[in-house]
């Protein structure tokens, strides 16, 4: 029996915790994972681990996980050889594009893409050849407003200021629940200790959320806000900062501050209060507390990204940090300087250069809002989408109006999914191409090192051998690209393995050959616990990519959106709005088939305030119907004093009871999909991001 210890960053969420995995090789029985623990020698994550990482062994051993390419023949799934699968994809997509044009083939890239560096480096090797404008991804059900705001204000969609959580004296969190999510657009392992450290050094944490979340429960102050009302609250804060003289000069070169001041002149706390359901006095006091703290940072996440005013919210957050002198300042919001720097090496992005065919939604950096995907498939005419490539995504459960999308998928001429499972989406595919599992692959986090609360870097080798006949995701894309290029006579540039690209990125980056750190892949091989490159520091002035190298505080398209905001009405007495939530023992739309992760009481229920239950004659635990403009679901309801009145909370990613899904749900409870209720017509119209929070619903006894 041989035991071996391996060190590796976890790829399952944005916190990139260091893990120590033990494998045991037993004669005759091969190699098994025998222990997964937090890596105490990782100075960034300091031994932190959550239940998801423990379930890594379940992903590895899961009998439901596909291990070879599968082709659907009628209602049966049959194995197919890799080369035959590649040739078939090339033939079908080339044919559809020849008959219906390039945009007739669409692409959806899902969340795990950004956690898998081979997908980051190589998916476009194939997808780029398709030259289609029908590109969609999880970005437009997630963080699109962050990118758009940074693109407009700082000139690059990835130049995102990150809360300097380890040094701040005041952290104002809107619509984020890092105690459940482990942090997002803020890579912050061990976040609970870091939040408590703010309090221990005399600082404050304030959480704004329509639900008393796990994070709100440990905060110094929790402010209930009406779903979708955050822009009003933030306008009230900004107006108070200006009108009470609470602003501080910034060292940054800034254009447009006078326009901002003018634009918000009538948005007093008193005027905004009815729209967000926060008392005016509380808004004013919050502004004073924020401005009065030695350092402070305002941070917003899912709750304020995926709502009707997502971009206004993120712009206001930037402006509040800016006018209080907290942008690009220690203890405020700072831009990470990663070892492999995508900001330095890529163009800043583009916006609204073209629009979607049916509803005229704007593109952002070559992608269209995924809310428009189904209508682009269902609406006949030139440019109609007839084929789909999905990559690491499950849009039937993850994007608004999932039932409509299912209808659309059913009508496609061809669909191929690069995925590990036959799930709610891939069951519509003609072919599923499954990659190796994560532990069979080496790992470098190209994305989340970019948003980390310290500058860190780490490369880890595969822990388990690559099974015979298996391919990594990046190799699948090389195979598809070669087959498609051969079929269509397109020229294919040579490529190299992802690790080589990382080596190149490290050497040419700020800590590479020319610097004192002299980072390369070889250096990282010698540091399996990762390398800490230091705390974040002010750098924004030098990294701005706007045309005149100045911060644009008042982008025209954002100020134009104030017209839409002006139409926001105070709530009617019977208003009932649905919001989402996450739990540390659940992960988006997958991993629900792992007992180690989902064990314990079920967590897919609808949460509702007891008064809202009573007024409808409902009781705790009963089955109810929840209906919206687009659909009806049935689910159990739980009474919860943590909910704001007039608001219900339902997590997404459930709803596995669909025919043909081949995943054994560990709890035996498939739940219902929140996205059978969310509305593809409800968006942040400025960015096209889906408004998943603040969906009007009705709840009645089932
Ligand atoms: N109502 C509501 N809807 C939401 C949200 C919400 O808060 N509320 N959140 C949104 C957000 S933030 C996101 S990011 C999306 C996520 O939604 P999706 O983009 O659909 O991502 P996942 O649900 O994580 O889907 C994971 C899929 O990737 C596959 N997979 C996992 N690892 C790999 C891999 O290494 N390679 C390959 N090829 N496949 C892999 C899994 O089998 C699974 O099918 O959901 C969004 N939808
Ligand atoms: N365990 C686990 N971790 C995850 C994931 C997971 O599924 N499971 N998913 C990962 C992904 S893809 C992402 S994007 C991140 C997301 O990470 P977070 O942004 O922290 O996401 P949530 O936990 O959904 O927290 C959103 C909060 O917003 C609140 N909210 C809803 N509507 C509103 C509103 O209108 N206004 C305000 N102010 N608040 C509102 C909700 O009540 C909730 O507490 O988490 C990542 N981490
Ligand atoms: S918090 Fe995220 S990165 Fe850390 S162990 Fe859990 S899933 Fe992995
Ligand atoms: Mo996400």
pLDDT tens per residue across span 47-80: 999 999 999 999 999 999 999 999 999 989 999 9
Closest CA to 496 of 485, 484, 504: 504
Is the CB of residue 581 below 6 angstroms from any atom belonging to ligand 2? yes
CB 140 within 8 A of CB 371: yes
Residue 29: pLDDT band (50, 70, 90) is: confident
At residue 69, the 3 state secondary structure works out as: coil
Is the CB of residue 392 below 6 angstroms from any atom belonging to ligand 1? yes
Note the pLDDT of residue 442. Answer: 96
Closest CA to 451 of 538, 531, 338, 317: 338
Is the CB of residue 18 below 6 angstroms from any atom belonging to ligand 3? no
* Atom of ligand 3 lying closest to residue 50 CA: 6
pLDDT digits (tens, 9 = 90+) for 452-470: 999 999 999 999 999 999 9
* Atom of ligand 3 lying closest to residue 51 CA: 6
Average pLDDT value for residue range 586-599: 95
Note the pLDDT of residue 28. Answer: 82
Residue 667: pLDDT band (50, 70, 90) is: confident
Residue with the smallest CA separation from ligand 3 atom 6 is: 50
Overall pTM surpassing 0.95 (yes/no): yes
Ligand closest to CA 142: 1
398 Cα to the center of ligand 4, angstroms: 10
Cα–Cα distance, 55 to 591 (Å, whole number): 8
50 Cα to the center of ligand 3, angstroms: 5
pLDDT digits (tens, 9 = 90+) for 243-299: 999 999 999 999 999 999 999 999 999 999 999 999 999 999 999 999 999 999 999
The total of other beta-carbon atoms located within 10 Å of residue 67's CB is: 14
Note the pLDDT of residue 621. Answer: 97
The total of other beta-carbon atoms located within 10 Å of residue 507's CB is: 19
* Atom of ligand 1 lying closest to residue 110 CA: 19
* Atom of ligand 2 lying closest to residue 582 CA: 23
219 Cα to the center of ligand 2, angstroms: 16
Is the CB of residue 592 below 6 angstroms from any atom belonging to ligand 2? no
Does 623 have pLDDT greater than 90? yes
570 Cα to the center of ligand 1, angstroms: 34
Is the CB of residue 15 below 6 angstroms from any atom belonging to ligand 3? yes
331 Cα to the center of ligand 3, angstroms: 25
Is the CB of residue 393 below 6 angstroms from any atom belonging to ligand 2? no
Q: Which residues contact 508 (CB under 8 A, 6 or more apart)?
A: 345
Is the CB of residue 145 below 6 angstroms from any atom belonging to ligand 3? no
Report the Cα 28 to chain-centroid distance in Å.
Answer: 42
CB 688 within 8 A of CB 400: no
Average pLDDT value for residue range 291-311: 98
Residue with the smallest CA separation from ligand 2 atom 6 is: 587
């Amino acid at each position: 029996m041989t035991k071996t210890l391996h060190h590796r960053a976890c790829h399952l969420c944005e916190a990139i915790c260091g893990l120590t995995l033990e494998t045991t090789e037993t004669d005759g029985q091969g190699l098994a994972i025998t222990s997964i623990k937090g890596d105490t020698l990782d100075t960034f994550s300091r031994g932190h681990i959550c239940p998801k990482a423990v379930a890594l062994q379940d992903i590895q051993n899961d009998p439901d996980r596909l291990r070879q390419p599968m082709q659907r023949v009628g209602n049966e799934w049959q194995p197919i050889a890799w080369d035959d699968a590649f040739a078939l994809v090339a033939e079908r997509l080339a044919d559809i594009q020849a008959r219906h044009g390039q945009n007739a083939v669409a692409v959806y890239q899902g969340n795990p893409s950004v956690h898998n560096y081979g997908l980051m480096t190589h998916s476009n090797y194939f997808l780029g050849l398709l030259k289609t404008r029908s590109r969609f991804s999880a970005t437009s059900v997630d963080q699109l407003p962050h990118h758009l705001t940074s693109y407009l204000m700082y000139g690059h969609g990835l130049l995102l200021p990150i809360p300097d959580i380890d040094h701040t004296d005041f952290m104002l969190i809107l619509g984020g629940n890092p105690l459940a999510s482990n942090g997002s657009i803020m890579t912050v392992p061990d976040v609970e200790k870091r939040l408590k450290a703010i309090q221990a050094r005399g600082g404050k944490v304030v959480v704004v959320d329509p639900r008393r979340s796990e994070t709100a429960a440990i905060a110094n102050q929790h402010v209930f806000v009406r779903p979708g009302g955050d822009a009003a609250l933030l306008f009230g804060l900004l107006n108070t900062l200006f009108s009470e003289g609470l602003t501080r000069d910034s060292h940054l070169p800034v254009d447009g501050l006078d326009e901002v001041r003018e634009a918000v002149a009538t948005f007093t706390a008193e005027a905004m209060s009815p729209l967000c359901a926060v008392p005016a006095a509380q808004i004013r006091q919050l502004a004073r507390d924020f401005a009065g703290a030695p350092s402070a940072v305002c941070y917003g996440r899912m709750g304020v990204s995926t709502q009707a005013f997502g971009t206004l919210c993120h712009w206001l957050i930037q402006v509040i940090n800016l006018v209080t002198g907290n942008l690009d300042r220690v203890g405020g919001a700072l831009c990470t300087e990663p070892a492999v720097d995508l900001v330095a090496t890529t163009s800043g992005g583009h916006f609204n250069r073209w629009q979607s065919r049916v509803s005229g939604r704007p593109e952002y950096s070559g992608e269209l809002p995924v809310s428009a995907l189904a209508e682009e498939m269902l609406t006949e005419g030139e440019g109609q989408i007839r084929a789909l490539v999905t990559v690491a995504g499950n849009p039937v459960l993850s994007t608004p109006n999932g039932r409509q999308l299912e209808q659309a998928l059913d009508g496609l001429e061809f669909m191929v999914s690069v995925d590990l499972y036959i799930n709610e989406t891939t069951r519509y595919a003609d072919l599923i191409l499954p990659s190796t599992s994560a532990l069979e692959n080496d790992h470098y986090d190209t994305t989340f090192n970019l948003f980390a609360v310290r500058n860190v870097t780490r490369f880890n080798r595969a822990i388990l051998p690559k099974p015979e006949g298996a391919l990594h995701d990046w190799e699948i894309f090389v195979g598809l690209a070669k087959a498609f290029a051969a079929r269509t006579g397109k020229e294919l540039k040579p490529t190299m393995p992802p690790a080589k690209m990382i080596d190149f990125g490290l050497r040419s980056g700020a800590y590479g050959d020319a610097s004192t750190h002299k980072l390369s892949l070889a250096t990282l091989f010698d540091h399996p616990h990762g390398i800490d490159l230091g705390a974040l520091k002010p750098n924004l002035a030098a990294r701005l990519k706007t045309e005149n190298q100045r911060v644009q505080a008042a982008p025209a398209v954002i100020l134009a959106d104030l017209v839409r905001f002006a139409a926001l009405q105070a709530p009617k007495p019977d208003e009932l709005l649905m919001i989402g939530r996450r739990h540390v023992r659940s992960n988006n739309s997958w991993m629900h088939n792992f007992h180690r992760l989902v064990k314990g009481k079920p967590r897919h229920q609808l949460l509702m305030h007891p008064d809202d239950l009573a007024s409808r004659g409902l009781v705790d635990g009963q089955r109810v119907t929840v209906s919206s403009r687009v659909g009806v679901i049935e689910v159990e309801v739980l009474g919860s004093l943590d909910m704001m009145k007039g608001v219900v909370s339902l997590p997404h990613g459930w709803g596995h009871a669909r025919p043909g899904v081949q995943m054994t749900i560990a709890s035996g409870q498939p739940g219902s999909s929140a996205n059978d209720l969310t509305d593809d017509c409800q968006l942040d119209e400025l960015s096209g991001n889906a408004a998943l929070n603040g969906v009007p619903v009705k709840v009645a006894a089932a």
